[in-house]
Amino acid sequence: MAPQSVIIRRSAPRILQGAGYNEQMDQSLSARLKTYLARPIWQQLQALCQLADQQQVQLYLVGGLVRDCLMDQPSIDLDIVVVGDAPTFAQTVKQQFNGRLHVHEQFRTATWFPAKNSYYIDFITARSETYPQPGALPVITPSTSIKDDLRRRDFPVNALAIRLDGAHFGQLVDHLNGLDDLQAGIIRVLHEQSFQDDATRMWRAVRYEQRLRFMLEPQTAAWLKRDLPYLNTISGDRIRHELVLILMEPTRAYSLARLDELGILRYIAEGLHWQPQAAAWFARLPHEAEWPLFLALWLLTQTAEVRTAALDYLNFSNDVEDLVVQTAAVVDMVEAARWTQTTRPSVIEKQLRPFAKDDDLLTAVQAALPPESTAVRLLNNYRQTWRHVQTAVDGHTLRQQGLPPGPIYRTILDQILAAKLDGEATTAEAEQQLLADILSRLSGSPRDESQG
């Protein structure tokens, strides 16, 4: 059964309500940008604008930050398009303001890290893109027009720019009616072949639709459904990248449900769906949880066959794949073990010992168990206390007793640890007495035989 639509509409951004763009908006955008950006970034932008003026270079703030500024939403992007050569301008920036610079010659871009600051700026050469065939990476050509650069972007709401140089500072550049789309609350592609050129745009359309609480524009939605088979032209590696971006979003559950609703998930693996149970599990994870935990919990709702097929297609790193597989295995183990209030701590410790150092795994497992269950209470005890318990008796103690090293060490130490966990040997003296009893039995003394 397909999930219901998960789109939540919201009112248009306050700055955009009422009349559309006009010349007076340049000044209001400048003022808004000043209050929107952190003071060090604002001051740095002004310095860059003066430098661009001296160099007679056109600079444009582009993409997500412009959109988010207009919507008064937080943003982490700081992308500047240079009409000219971005690495050359970035080298001048480094000479003028110091910091570190990474140049990417192949793409004619550069990333500048200002000294003693936690942010960075990406400088991008204005360019145009063409797609030689569906699913292929674009062919990039430098351009002398900001319009060409904006046309290569996925949606008009991401194709807004603010000019930064000279007297043009604060001028909104909107060749593709992105402002209208922000006002209307829609995600729209630029042309009919957009999803055919690059089917990963389907994933991005959903991500922005859910993040911004917008809707797919009806014609865009129709083209997306028509062009679903073009997802077969995209490699699993590229789909994995888009999936990870979605898993990193607070709206991940809504996005995954929407991807399922649109029929996109089945192109990862036949039978792959969103299950609402995963949303409840997501909510139990700590706020700082990383994306692999959400992946593990989502795939836990799938059959083993579908989970394996999805992992094979997406080609995650070994660490991520192990987390997914082991989460399913440990949840199955815990459910099969049927822990009760009378289950000895030593039994639980021995079952979970192979995973003692894997906090991510234990966090995912705990999220997948009923929150008020005995299993969760015991798992909490294990995580907080039992896995950290150490005995006074150790290998050095056994050597002092003249016992040759070997597998017997593990057997003896496990017995002593179990006794300590279960409250049967709570002091160092009690451990020593237990050790003496164990060694006595091992030696086959008459005392041991009489007790047997």
What the block records as the tokens of 100 is 């570190």
The verdict on residue 306 lying in a domain is: no
What the block records as the tokens of 423 is 């409250």
What the block records as the tokens of 452 is 């047997």
User: Which pLDDT value is given to residue 106?
Assistant: 85
Q: 96: which DSSP letter?
A: H
For all residues of the chain together, what is the average pLDDT?
91
The verdict on residue 286 lying in a domain is: no
Report, as an integer, the average pLDDT of 56-85: 93
Tell me which residue range forms the domain holding 59. Answer: 1-184
User: Which pLDDT value is given to residue 163?
Assistant: 94
Cα radius of gyration (the chain): 30
Give the percent of the chain with pLDDT over 70.
92
Residues 116 and 169 both lie in one domain: yes
More confident residue, 242 or 24: 242
CB 267 within 8 A of CB 231: yes
Residues 160 and 197 both lie in one domain: no
Residues 3 and 124 both lie in one domain: yes
Whether the pLDDT of residue 23 is over 90: the answer is: no
Residues 17 and 165 both lie in one domain: yes
User: Which pLDDT value is given to residue 5?
Assistant: 30
Residues 12 and 84 both lie in one domain: yes
The verdict on residue 163 lying in a domain is: yes
Lowest mean pLDDT: which of 10-19, 105-114, 196-205, 294-303?
Answer: 10-19
CB 149 within 8 A of CB 34: no
Whether the pLDDT of residue 11 is over 70: the answer is: no
pLDDT of 310-350, one tens digit each?
999 999 999 999 999 999 999 999 999 999 999 999 999 99
pLDDT of 383-393, one tens digit each?
999 999 999 99
CB 447 within 8 A of CB 409: no
pLDDT of 242-287, one tens digit each?
999 999 999 999 999 999 999 999 999 999 999 999 999 999 999 9
Report, as an integer, the average pLDDT of 49-59: 94
The verdict on residue 29 lying in a domain is: yes
pTM beyond cutoff 0.75: yes
User: Which pLDDT value is given to residue 4?
Assistant: 33
Domain count of the chain? 4
CB 253 within 8 A of CB 285: no
Report, as an integer, the average pLDDT of 87-103: 96
**Residue finishing a domain among 136, 160, 184:** 184
SS3 of 47, please? Answer: helix
User: Which pLDDT value is given to residue 29?
Assistant: 87
Q: What is the CATH number of the domain that holds 221?
A: 1.10.110.30
What the block records as the tokens of 127 is 């360019």
**Residue finishing a domain among 151, 184, 217:** 184
Residues 30 and 161 both lie in one domain: yes
Residues 84 and 106 both lie in one domain: yes
User: Which pLDDT value is given to residue 167?
Assistant: 83
Residues 6 and 41 both lie in one domain: yes
**Residue finishing a domain among 184, 205, 238:** 184
Residues 353 and 421 both lie in one domain: no
User: Which pLDDT value is given to residue 443?
Assistant: 81
Report, as an integer, the average pLDDT of 398-415: 94
User: Which pLDDT value is given to residue 139?
Assistant: 86
More confident residue, 176 or 10: 176
Residues 221 and 169 both lie in one domain: no
- Confidence band of 9 (pLDDT split at 50, 70, 90): very low
The long-range contacts involving 414-417, CB below 8 angstroms and separated by at least 24 positions, are 414/350, 416/391, 417/346, 417/349, 417/389, 417/391
Whether the pLDDT of residue 63 is over 80: the answer is: yes
The verdict on residue 367 lying in a domain is: yes
Whether the pLDDT of residue 80 is over 90: the answer is: yes
> Alpha helices of 20-159 — where are they, by DSSP H?
25-36, 39-55, 64-71, 86-97, 146-151
User: Which pLDDT value is given to residue 77?
Assistant: 86
Whether the pLDDT of residue 13 is over 90: the answer is: no
Residues 32 and 157 both lie in one domain: yes
User: Which pLDDT value is given to residue 18?
Assistant: 38
pLDDT of 121-146, one tens digit each?
999 999 998 888 888 888 888 899 99
The verdict on residue 275 lying in a domain is: no
User: Which pLDDT value is given to residue 24?
Assistant: 56
CB 80 within 8 A of CB 98: no
The verdict on residue 428 lying in a domain is: yes
The verdict on residue 274 lying in a domain is: no
Q: What is the CATH number of the domain that holds 38?
A: 3.30.460.10
Whether the pLDDT of residue 104 is over 50: the answer is: yes
CA–CA distance, 58 with 66 (Å, rounded to integer): 17
Residues 81 and 198 both lie in one domain: no
